[in-house]
Amino acid sequence: MPIKYRMNVLAELKAAGYNTNRLRKEKLLSEGTIQSIREGKIINAANLAKLCKLLKSQPGDILEYEEEQEEEAGQDI
């Protein structure tokens, strides 16, 4: 996937005072969303907006586009 996290989101949340227990207890993010972040999977726009609010950041601070390398020369995408 060409969209990747620019930072360790869970570490940044923890530094901002939001450990995973607090995120779940206060229903800020679901367990599934936390697990997706942990696995490097991209979350939906609503959860990205929550991250931006919690981290006082912009989507571009959290995500980045990285062009994928072609596996074989001449392969069409």
CA atoms of 51 and 2, how far apart (whole Å):
20
| Residue 76 pLDDT exceeds 90 | no
pLDDT tens-digit map of 5-44: 999 999 999 999 999 999 999 999 999 999 999 999 999 9
What is the pTM for the complete model shown?
0.82
> What is the dotted CATH code of the domain comprising 3-63?
1.10.260
CA atoms of 14 and 75, how far apart (whole Å):
42
**Is 1 within 8 Å of 66 (Cβ atoms)?**
no
- 77 or 24, higher pLDDT: 24
CA atoms of 50 and 70, how far apart (whole Å):
34
| Residue 60 pLDDT exceeds 90 | yes
